Structures are given as C-alpha cells and as structure tokens.
Structure 1
Amino acid sequence: MFNEFELYEISSLLRKYNLACMKEQGYTSINFPAPSSPGITKHNERRYGITDGLLAIRLGYRIPSIEKGDESGTNATALSPDEEFTLTGGSTKPGELGKGGRNKFDKKVPAGGCSGVALKKLGYFPGETPGNPMEVQALDKESFTNSLKSDRVKRSLEKWSSCMRDNGYKYAPEPFSASNDHRFATRSVTKLEKDVATADTRCKQSSRLLTVWSAEETKIQESLIAEHQKELHEVQKQRDTTLSIIERRSGSSS
C-alpha cells in the first residue's frame, strides 16, 4: 500500500498525534518509540538482496545510515493497563475498534482511543474506511513466495550458487543464504563479509538472477492484481486520501 518512505512519514505523524492525544488525556510523561529510518534510498531496494556492488565493497551487507532520526523516542515507556485503554479505547485484539469510555483521570476516551484519533487525522476511520491495507501486504508476500517456486528462478539460483562456489564461497541456492551467514552478525563489518557481498552482486549479474526473478514475480503480481482488482481499488483510494493529508500536514504543527 505504502512504500518504505511513506510508511516512515506516516509512522512519524501517528506517533506525534498519539503523544499529543495521550497528553490531553492526562498522560504527560508518556513516550512512544520513534520510527526507524528506512535505511535505503529507493523503494524495494533489497527485495532480492544486495545488488549494489560498490556498496558491497564498502559496507558488505550492511544498510547505510541515511539520517540519525528522532532520538526523543528511544526511551519509550511501558504502558499501564489504563494507558493501554486510553491508547486503544479498550481494544482487545488487532483490528478491533475499542468502545472507549473514561480513564482514571475521568477523561472521556473516544471509540478507538488515541490511536483512532491519530488515524482519523490521516484520513482513516477505523471500522468505517473501506479498503484493507493488510490485503496488499498479503498479496505482496504471496507474489514473493510464489516467485521462488518458479522453475526459472530456481535455475537462476542454482547458477548463482555455482558462481559463489567458483569464488570460494559455499552457499545453498536460496535467495538470502549468503547475507544470513551467522559469521556476519558482528558489530562491525569484516573483510570476509565485504568479499562475500561483492561476489554475491557479481554472481547475481552473471546468473541473470535479478532479471529472471523480477520478471517472474511481475507476472505473478499482474495476475494477483487482476484477481483482486476491486479490493485494491479501495485500498488505492484510501492511499491517495492519506498521502494528500500527509502532504498538507507534514512539517506543520497541526
């Protein structure tokens, strides 16, 4: 539904509105974690793993830091039962609209709580707005998973694995077997990680893995879009509404 950069902007605004609402409800010292920076420079940059050879030489599989971000949310507080009630309106499960009521400060908590208030500021009315963004996430996961079942993708992964062996690195023909190497779970990037990541990008090119994989997944996505056209149309309308509100509100004090 939203790309990584839009989600970062949305999460930042939701945090801002949730904090403001909670303070109005009597919780002046509450804090929520600030969203993490996307850490990439373009949408889906690492959907198929690392592809930038120059970045691999410099950072291995690490994602470069784009910005330091807001550190005011690093000391987030655990919520008490009443704080949870004020935030959610008494919701007991994801997607459920809490009925609201009164909190311990005798403040009137609206249906959906402060979360509902924050969402409404971005044009989404829990329980009323058509278009389920989870539908898009599910379809996105489905297209990715099914693409790995493609014979063409499997053959390209075998070629990639063979190329890695030729470079002295033994990895299974699985998309992230190299980047998930436990030896790279270190605080700082090592020479080995840089060397493997560099070989990874080169082998992706020689095996045509990226070209084949992208083409196969695109075919699957087109089929899923055609099958779920009505639901996706509703989600798209909601996305357009939310983004237009963000454009007006971002950077403002509202």
Structure 2
Amino acid sequence: MSVRSRAAATGAAVLVLACAVTGCAGDADAGPPRAEPSKAGGPTAPVPPPGKEATEISVPLDRYGPSPGELETIRAAEDVLTGRCMRGKGVEWKTAPRVPGEETQPRNRRRYGVVEPRIAEIYGYHMPAERPAVARRAAAEKAREKGLGAAARKAAHGSGKAPGGCVRKAKETLTRGLPDADYGLLDSTLGATYDRALKEPEVVRVFRAWSACMKKGGYDYPGPMQAITDARWRKGDHVSREEIRQARADVRCKERTGLVAVWNAAETRVQRAAVKAEPAAFEKLEKARSAWVDAAKRVLEKA
C-alpha cells in the first residue's frame, strides 16, 4: 500500500473511532432548538468554521500521520505532478483550486462524538458540510473528470491492460525515496490505544456521569458513541428537530461532566506509553510523514 493510501486509511480509522466525573444538574435539553431542520450540508445550511472545542483536541499519535491540512498539500502536489505528466502526453489538465489548511475538517472533530454546540444546532449528529474552499476543489475535480474524453481518461487513469496512468504516476513520484516506516503499526496502535482508553477507570466513571445527565433529558445511552451512531440518524441527509435536540443535549452533558477532557487525558496517557514502548519505529513514522509533506511543498513551490 502506498504511503498516501496508508495515511488516508489511518485518518478514516480515526474518524470512525471518533465517530468532572460529577453528576449533572438541570434539564439536559432546556428549550427548543435554535436551528431549523435541514439537509445536512444542503444549500441553505450555513457552514460555520470549526469550533475550538474540536480544533483544540489532539493526541500524541497525531504527529505520526499527515493532518487533514497536510493531506490537502499532498493532494495539490499530486495534482500538479499529474498535470505535468498529462501535458507530456499532449493532454490538457486543469489543476483544481488549492485548499488552505485552515479550511479542512479538524483531525479529531468526531473523536469523542459531537463536541461543538453550533455544529450540533445545525447538523445534529450528521457531519458538517465541507468548508467553501474544499467544496470548490471537489466541484472542480468532479467537473474535470466528467469532461475527460476517452483518450484523456486513459492518459489519466490508464486502462484495464495498462492500469495507472498519470494519476498513479504522480503518487509514485511524490513518495519515491521516502524513509521506510511501519504504517501498520500506526494503524494498529490507533485502534488499540483507543480501546484501552475506554477501559480506564476515569473514562468509565465519566461515561456513567454523561449517561446520567442524558437520562434527565429522556435519552438512554451508555456512552457518547452509541448516541452518535444511533441508526435513527443514519437515514439519509435529513436532520430532524429531535436529532438536533438530542445532539445539543449530548454536547451540554459533555461540558457538564468534563467528558472530553477526561477521555482525552486517558487516551493521551496510553498513547504516550505505546510510543515509548517502540520509540525507533515511531521516530521513523514521524520522519516519513515530514519527508512526504516536504516533498509536496517542494512540488508546489515550483508549480
């Protein structure tokens, strides 16, 4: 598996995983929602910037895989390299608009479920719509792909007999010469430390406190990940009033119990222990990540 594919898979795994130990006072759902039910990411839904509740979440293993902003840098560099290859074949290739790092989704946005009050008010448990720069890039890529003729498509993506093409060549060019690293170790450690943190006594206690808080509003879940993965919220893009009410209550109960801080401290502790157990392997991972991003930046500097 290529370096980029491995890191992308790692980011997806974190997103899936992510997807004050005192009691709570007051109603867990005071007042009506302040946002109309809508389509998640629909044309009328505002796209607020990520809240600090999400942007400030970090864990030690973050440093060993590219951040969302760094992956955008890598993606832009691959696009430039693809364009060079395509022009070498006499085919036009319009590079997509670049995305500033601050326009990407926070790396750990859903690590502990929904944590941003404003996002809960608009999207409930659905993922927020992409920021404008990301949406523009995606639209440009989609339009470019749709406009490819047969010859251009073959040059870009290869064919059944000759898979790859310029897109694949660009990825290989960017990762050529990067330091070797054990990306499987990063994947497995992400999962193992997440599971281990869930069993830490303080995390078990704060989950109970959060659950008790939610019950005061009429919501019965043993933990926040059961709330966000409830099948009721996965039926299409529609965000109902009930979903918004519950998501708002969820965020308030996290705030009242200090759940995010407690959970994050436990996960930070077990991740640091895991890194300490294999320092040489993780040092190689950090060097590989840094070299990959630096290679992408050099490509863009010459573009």
Higher relative contact order by CA 8 Å / sep ≥ 6: 1 or 2? 2
1:17 to 81, 85, 88: 81
- What corresponds to 2:141 in structure 1? 73
For 2:226, give the aligned amino acid.
S
1:164 CA drift (Å): 1.1
1:48 & 1:218 partners in 2: Cα distance?
Answer: 13
Conserved? CA contact 2:200–2:266, under 8 Å: yes
2:160 & 2:99 partners in 1: Cα distance?
Answer: 26
For 1:69, give the aligned amino acid.
R
1:215 & 1:135 partners in 2: Cα distance?
Answer: 22
Conserved? CA contact 2:275–2:282, under 8 Å: yes
- What corresponds to 1:137 in structure 2? 187
1:2 lines up with 2:66 in the alignment: yes
Higher helix share: 2
- What corresponds to 2:255 in structure 1? 205
- What corresponds to 2:226 in structure 1? 177
% same residue: 22
1:37 CA drift (Å): 10
Moved more, 194-203 or 233-242: 233-242
1:25 CA drift (Å): 6.2
User: Which deviations, in whole Å up to 9, do the C-alpha atoms of 1:134-153 show, x marking residues without a partner?
Assistant: 43233222211221122321
- What corresponds to 2:205 in structure 1? 155
Gaps of 5+ in 1: 88-113
1:64 & 1:142 partners in 2: Cα distance?
Answer: 30
For 2:228, give the aligned amino acid.
S
1:119 & 1:248 partners in 2: Cα distance?
Answer: 15
Judged with a 3 Å threshold, the aligned counterparts in structure 2 of structure 1 residues 164 and 83 are, in CA distance, closer, same or farther, namely: farther
Judged with a 3 Å threshold, the aligned counterparts in structure 2 of structure 1 residues 35 and 133 are, in CA distance, closer, same or farther, namely: farther
Conserved? CA contact 1:131–1:231, under 8 Å: yes
Conserved? CA contact 2:158–2:164, under 8 Å: no
2:100 & 2:230 partners in 1: Cα distance?
Answer: 24
Judged with a 3 Å threshold, the aligned counterparts in structure 2 of structure 1 residues 54 and 133 are, in CA distance, closer, same or farther, namely: same
RMSD: 3.4
The aligned length equals 222
For 1:217, give the aligned amino acid.
E
1:116 CA drift (Å): 5.3
TM-score scaled by structure 1? 0.72
1:154 & 1:35 partners in 2: Cα distance?
Answer: 43
Conserved? CA contact 1:14–1:118, under 8 Å: yes
Conserved? CA contact 2:97–2:140, under 8 Å: yes
TM-score scaled by structure 2? 0.61
2:284 & 2:169 partners in 1: Cα distance?
Answer: 20
Conserved? CA contact 1:25–1:86, under 8 Å: no
1:144 & 1:37 partners in 2: Cα distance?
Answer: 29
DSSP-derived class of the 1:82 partner: coil
Alignment of 1:213-252 (within 5 A): 213-250=263-300
DSSP-derived class of the 1:129 partner: coil
1:42 to 92, 95, 106: 106
1:63 CA drift (Å): 1.3
